[in-house]
């Protein structure tokens, strides 16, 4: 069952774990503000809600039909629908792609789910509450408190947007949908490519075991089936299979050839009948570290990354269409980048699907700002244990995407060496070790920029917004002597444990403040609403000279494995993007691309 085209964001939201039957619940819902978070006491669970909203767009966005940008302490949603009768004999799951921040879900007045965290999915099992053919009323309360420890990413803690902080997002901001499933079923698989062994290793978690059940996996490409594996499913909660790829059918996933194999995963009963069946895909590739180089498929591939915030003028954190996600990747590729840091936001899974298809390298990141870890440090709250739980939900969701080549749990943490150990120290180490335990196949950076507090971090980096290419070159020199540029606190005291020879990159730089119209306005009467790093260029020619000088410094360093330029697009008042906020051109993109095209020194060097 496919969603009707009139429904906003109608595409299937989980492209690496696809079931045929599903129901998209985006569209018009009843809605109410709850400024005092007193709705439960006032009867909003069963009473009328006085407004309407278009889901999945947050109420602060234009596309929601509301556009209220003040602080929203709590909001309520309600929708009544009839579950398809043809789903009879199966139980129904109700899925939420993401709800910011603290969600409670009721169906027909019965609480069916709670979830804390604004970036990751959760599911309500409606068994014994409602089933196929029945009418149900879904009610959602989303709390988004103004203060307290909360991973907010780039959402502003002040009333108005400012600097690099943007309009807040509250409530439902990704697709809501339902699907029927058997009582014993497959959960999301863990697909691990084994390039050295020319195979895929699969873990197929199950909701439970039944006598005689088996799991089967089929691997295929455009020429047909390649391999099949089948094992018992009544002994383990997560049966494991190996699917070999013969040499004549082997195609390695890379930016130059982002080949994806098709997977069909099945749960069989004792009679060999298919109980559950899902579609998936996989890319055969490897990530390794050799000295200071990060290798993709055994070769150094210089990571020309761009910082992508994932915000849109009309949908805020929600892309207006699936095509908009594709367009952002295409814009980056057109400008000469081969990947991105997905910055301060867990991107919706369809973005990763398109990155997989297009050969776009990405670093998965958590939206940790909002506490003392970074950003507006006037909020002295320390991150709590929920940060680790929310981050692991993201890693588990995205583990099998070949485009992800590294993990970044935290960004710009403020911790000085020799200060008293804080909760942030404990959370940093917990998030690093938990990520390494969950995924042994990718490098993990403990915290990007500023304070590296985990000595065994796989990657070491720094952030620098020095605008003069000559001064920038002097600043980042020394990597060949194991003395790279390292961020320090404003009083000069070190933030980080010493560098010990890991792969190193400048993971934020540039941020060149350039917007032709606001620059002209500033030269006129100095009244303008624009923000960026350093002194803005006098004209576009100066922008290109600065961009080429900064990127060239890093491309020519034989020990640098990559960089990440800030940023892909302008976002509201932060006007330092390669493109405008509406994704239109403001620069000669061909020149931006040309500045990055020569082979990097680490790609030419024997490693």
Give DSSP secondary structure letters for 227-257. EEEEEESSS-SS-EEEEE--GGG-----SS-
Q: What angle do CA 429, 349, 192 make, to 5 degrees?
A: 65
What percentage of residues in the chain have a pLDDT greater than 90?
Answer: 86
pLDDT averaged over every residue in the chain: 93
Q: At 339, which helix (H) or strand (E)?
A: strand 339-342
Give the per-residue pLDDT at 377. 45
Cβ atoms 413, 453 nearer than 8 A: yes
List pLDDT tens digits, range 452-477.
999 999 999 999 999 999 999 999 99
Burial-class residue 290 by CB neighbours within 10 Å (0-12, 13-18, 19+): exposed
Indicate if the pLDDT at residue 600 is higher than 50.
Answer: yes
What one-character-per-residue DSSP string does 292-337 give? TEEEETTEE--EEEEEE---BTTTBTS-SSHHHHHHHHHHHHHTT-
Give the per-residue pLDDT at 250. 97
Indicate if the pLDDT at residue 487 is higher than 50.
Answer: yes
Q: How far apart are the first and last CA of the chain?
A: 51
Nearest of 607, 601, 531, 514 to residue 563 by alpha carbon: 601
Distance of alpha carbon 511 from alpha carbon 532, whole angstroms: 6
Cβ atoms 122, 103 nearer than 8 A: yes
List pLDDT tens digits, range 73-98.
999 999 999 999 999 999 999 999 99
pLDDT category of residue 371 using cuts at 50, 70 and 90: confident
Give the per-residue pLDDT at 373. 61
Among 210-224, 292-306, 380-394, 435-449, the range scoring the smallest mean pLDDT is 380-394
Token duo for residue 471: 């001064």
Indicate if the pLDDT at residue 203 is higher than 60.
Answer: yes
Give the per-residue pLDDT at 56. 98
Indicate if the pLDDT at residue 385 is higher than 50.
Answer: yes
Token duo for residue 587: 């620069």
Give the per-residue pLDDT at 376. 41
Indicate if the pLDDT at residue 526 is higher than 50.
Answer: no
Question: Which residues are CB-neighbours of 177 under 8 A, at least 6 positions away?
Answer: 3, 13, 22, 23, 24, 25, 26, 94, 95, 97
Cβ atoms 454, 429 nearer than 8 A: yes
Cα separation values, 30 from 50, 143, 240, 573, Å: 7, 17, 44, 32
Token duo for residue 557: 């360093």
Cα separation values, 356 from 176, 218, 331, 403, Å: 23, 20, 16, 5
Question: Which residues are CB-neighbours of 369 under 8 A, at least 6 positions away?
Answer: 151, 152, 153, 154, 344, 375, 376, 411, 412
Q: At 176, which helix (H) or strand (E)?
A: strand 176-181
The residue length of the chain stands at 607
Token duo for residue 148: 């307290």
pLDDT category of residue 522 using cuts at 50, 70 and 90: low
Strands 214-221 and 110-116: unpaired
Token duo for residue 361: 């390298």
Helix (H, G, I), strand (E, B) or coil at 572: coil
Give the per-residue pLDDT at 27. 98
Question: Nearest 10 degrees: CA dihedral of 35, 38, 44, 49?
Answer: -10
Strands 448-450 and 411-413: parallel
Question: Which residues are CB-neighbours of 456 under 8 A, at least 6 positions away?
Answer: none
Give the residue with greater pLDDT, 605 vs 15. 15
List pLDDT tens digits, range 313-358.
999 999 999 999 999 999 999 999 999 999 999 999 999 999 999 9
Give the per-residue pLDDT at 490. 79
pLDDT category of residue 212 using cuts at 50, 70 and 90: very high
List pLDDT tens digits, range 120-137.
999 999 999 999 999 999
Cβ atoms 338, 307 nearer than 8 A: no
Nearest of 223, 261, 468 to residue 356 by alpha carbon: 261
pLDDT category of residue 375 using cuts at 50, 70 and 90: very low
Question: Which residues are CB-neighbours of 243 under 8 A, at least 6 positions away?
Answer: 199, 200, 202, 217, 219, 226, 227, 228, 229
Listed in sequence order, the DSSP H helices in 359-515 are 385-398, 423-438, 469-476
Distance of alpha carbon 137 from alpha carbon 108, whole angstroms: 5
pLDDT category of residue 517 using cuts at 50, 70 and 90: confident
Among 259-263, 381-385, 538-542, 573-577, the range scoring the smallest mean pLDDT is 381-385
pLDDT, mean of residues 198-214: 97
Give the chain's domains with CATH numbers: 23-181 (2.60.120.260), 196-282 (2.60.40.10), 287-604 (3.20.20.80)
Question: Which residues are CB-neighbours of 291 under 8 A, at least 6 positions away?
Answer: 501, 503, 607
- Positive or negative: CA dihedral 170, 174, 176, 178: negative
pLDDT category of residue 531 using cuts at 50, 70 and 90: confident
pLDDT, mean of residues 45-60: 96
pLDDT, mean of residues 530-559: 94
Helix (H, G, I), strand (E, B) or coil at 398: helix
The answer for 271, left when phi > 0, alpha when psi is -120 to 50, beta otherwise, is alpha
List pLDDT tens digits, range 492-515.
888 899 999 999 999 999 999 998
Strands 240-244 and 199-203: antiparallel
């Amino acid at each position: 069952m496919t969603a009707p085209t009139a429904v906003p964001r109608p595409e299937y939201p989980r492209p690496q774990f696809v079931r045929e039957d599903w129901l998209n619940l985006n569209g018009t819902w009843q809605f109410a503000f709850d400024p005092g978070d007193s709705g439960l006491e006032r009867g909003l669970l069963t009473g009328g809600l006085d407004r309407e909203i278009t889901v999945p767009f947050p109420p602060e966005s234009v596309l929601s039909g509301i556009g209220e940008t003040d602080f929203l302490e709590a909001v309520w949603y309600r929708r009544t629908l009839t579950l398809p009768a043809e789903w009879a004999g199966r139980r129904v799951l109700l899925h939420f792609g993401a709800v910011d921040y603290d969600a409670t879900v009721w169906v027909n007045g019965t609480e069916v789910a709670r979830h804390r965290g604004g970036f990751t999915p959760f599911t309500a099992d409606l068994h014994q509450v409602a089933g196929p053919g029945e009418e149900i009323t879904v009610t959602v309360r989303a709390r988004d408190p103004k203060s307290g420890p909360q991973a907010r990413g780039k959402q502003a803690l002040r009333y108005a947007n400012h600097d690099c902080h943007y309009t807040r997002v509250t409530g439902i901001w990704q697709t809501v949908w339902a699907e029927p499933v058997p009582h014993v079923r497959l959960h999301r698989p863990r697909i691990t490519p084994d390039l050295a062994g020319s195979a895929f290793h699969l873990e197929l978690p199950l909701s439970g075991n039944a006598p005689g059940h088996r799991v089967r996996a089929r691997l295929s490409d455009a020429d047909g089936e390649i391999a099949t594996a089948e094992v018992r499913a009544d002994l383990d909660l997560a049966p494991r299979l190996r699917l070999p790829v013969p040499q004549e059918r082997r195609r390695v996933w890379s930016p130059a050839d982002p080949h994806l194999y098709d997977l069909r995963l099945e749960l069989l009963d004792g009679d060999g009948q298919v109980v559950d069946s899902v579609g998936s895909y996989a890319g055969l590739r490897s990530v390794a570290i050799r000295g200071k180089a990060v290798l993709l498929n055994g070769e150094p591939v210089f990571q020309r990354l761009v910082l992508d915030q994932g915000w849109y003028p009309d949908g805020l954190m929600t892309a207006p269409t699936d095509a908009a996600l594709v367009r952002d990747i295409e814009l980056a590729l057109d400008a000469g980048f081969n990947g991105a840091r997905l910055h301060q936001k867990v991107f919706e899974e369809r973005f990763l699907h398109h990155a997989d298809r297009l050969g776009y390298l990405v670093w998965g990141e958590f939206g940790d700002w909002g506490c003392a870890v970074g950003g507006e440090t006037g909020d002295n709250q320390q991150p709590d244990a929920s940060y680790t739980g929310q981050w692991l939900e993201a890693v588990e969701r995205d583990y099998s995407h070949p485009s992800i080549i590294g993990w970044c749990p935290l960004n710009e943490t403020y911790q000085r060496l020799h200060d008293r150990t804080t909760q942030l120290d404990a959370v940093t180490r917990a998030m690093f070790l938990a990520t390494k335990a969950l995924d042994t196949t990718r490098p993990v950076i403990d915290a990007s920029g500023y304070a590296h507090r985990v000595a065994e971090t796989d990657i070491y980096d720094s952030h620098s917004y020095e605008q003069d290419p000559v001064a920038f070159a002097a600043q980042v020199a020394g990597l060949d002597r194991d003395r790279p540029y390292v961020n320090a606190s404003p009083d000069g005291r070190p933030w980080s444990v010493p560098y010990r020879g890991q792969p190193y990159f400048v993971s934020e730089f540039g941020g060149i403040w350039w917007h032709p119209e606001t620059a002209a306005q500033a030269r006129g009467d100095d009244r303008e609403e624009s923000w960026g790093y350093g002194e803005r260029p006098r004209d576009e020619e100066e922008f290109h000279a600065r961009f080429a000088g900064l990127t060239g410094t890093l491309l020519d360093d034989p020990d640098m494995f990559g960089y990440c330029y800030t940023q892909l697009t302008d976002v509201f008042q932060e006007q330092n993007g390669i493109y405008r906020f509406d994704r239109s051109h403001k620069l000669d993109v061909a020149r931006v691309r040309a500045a990055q095209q020569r082979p990097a020194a680490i790609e030419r060097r024997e490693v």
